[in-house]
Amino acid sequence: MLRLPSQWLSRSLQAARPISTQPTRRAPAAPLGPGKERVFVVGVGMTKFSKPLGSDGPTYTDMAKEAVSNALSDARLPYEAIEAANVGYVFGSSTRGQRSLYEMGLSGIPISNCNNNCSTGSTALFQSRGLVAGGLARCTLALGVEKMQKGALEVGAEENPNPLDKHVLGMAKCVGGPPDAPIAPWLFAHAGREHSKRYGTTKTQYARVAEKNHRHSVNNPNAQFQDEYTLDQILGSKEICHPLTKLQCSPTSDGAAAVVLANEEFVKVNGLQDKAVEIRGISMTTDVSTVFDDPIQLIGYDMAVKAADEAYQQAGLTVADVNVVELHDCFSTNELIMYEALGLCNKGEGGSLVDSGNNTYGGRYVVNPSGGLISKGHPLGATGLAQCTELTWQLRGEADKRQVSGASVGLQHNLGLGGAAVVTLYTKYQ
């Protein structure tokens, strides 16, 4: 959870320039095409996610080595097969990506570092996939690693302007007052309140999202939390910012995840057809001109809609083809609202989707079989690649007790405020 110092907020509320919500007139841009090469996930690996352990836990290099080693072992490849790498993390010094991969060897390959807030892992995936799709490399690596501090995330007062200043000020303008809780739950709680005001969504429906994800996590050995809670326990846990209680919020976490990508020729030459899951469509979008218009837009609704539309178009698929979803449930309110942005239901029907059971086993979709961010954990740089890892296991039929019967098309949504949304569609190798 993100917390801003009071002196920064006070200064910003008094002195910030007015926020323009007027649309910028531009010719519509076509989404990025699929590139000249088909791209396949051929190896995935991750660490168990855990609460931040500081000096008592593994270092970021330890976690990175474990995740990359697992992914390479899964792909039956040596590190020398990797031709380029992109490494994502939010907290840490420059070139942490190089230091992480130097544990695997010094091969001289290009290594880039990226930070896109909570969508960092999927940004590394987007970049590594682009190298393969564009014909610049045959086999690449995406790594996400994060070692976090306990409690709400602090943003230093010295940053001016702060990257989230317009989002905080926009929400304060929408709701008629400054934050009265840590920034992240405050933003997502008010989006939930707005959804309730418009569509009658109840706090019980939001809590049912968390109940589902905690229940799913029981079968995930990599999850930070693997406990099942009743609906009453979730509603009765400590309130963070109405309607969100503690058990509806993702925790700070340590962890790493890695993905090996390859083109079709590489897959065939190395006999990796049994491992290959195709990235059929992927889109990364940033905030659009409507972002400051209301609380739901401020948490990335429209950029998620745009990313989803572009990914479906690239893939030649529709939401009707999807059966398993890993969705960015940083808070239960966000999961419910994003059902609508991703097309899993019509606008205003997220609460009805929850009540119908069509977001869990036996329903139309299984959303967050991993337990999601709420239970699996949320080490910011690793989250998107852990989502990719889970969907790869699901489409291969390797998800053990979490396995979604008949899983053939996976949908991934990863969100970073400030902002970026990455939506990815996966299918089995054909």
Residue 179 placed within a domain = no
Residue 159 placed within a domain = no
Active-site entry in 190, 195, 216, 378: 378
Residue pair 256/384 in contact (Cβ under 8 Å)? The answer is no
190 in active site = no
Residue 30 placed within a domain = no
Residue 176 placed within a domain = no
Residue 21 placed within a domain = no
pLDDT-derived band at 1, boundaries 50, 70, 90: very low
DSSP 247: G
329-362, pLDDT tens digit by residue?
Answer: 999 999 999 999 999 999 999 999 999 999 999 9
Q: How many domains does the chain have?
A: 1
413 in active site = no
Residue 407 placed within a domain = yes
58-114, pLDDT tens digit by residue?
Answer: 999 999 999 999 999 999 999 999 999 999 999 999 999 999 999 999 999 999 999
Q: What is the pTM of this model?
A: 0.92
Residue 205 placed within a domain = no
Active-site entry in 118, 139, 241, 345: 118
The pLDDT value given to residue 430: 87
Residue 129 placed within a domain = yes
Domain containing 65 — which CATH number? 3.40.47.10
Phi, psi of 331 (to 5 degrees): -140, 150
Any residues with CB less than 8 A from the CB of 217 and at least 6 apart, and which? 223, 225, 226, 227, 370, 371, 372, 375, 376
DSSP 205: H
Print the domain residue range for 59: 39-150+252-428
Whether 194 has a pLDDT exceeding 70, the answer reads: yes
- CA nearest neighbour of 370 among 48, 39, 2: 48
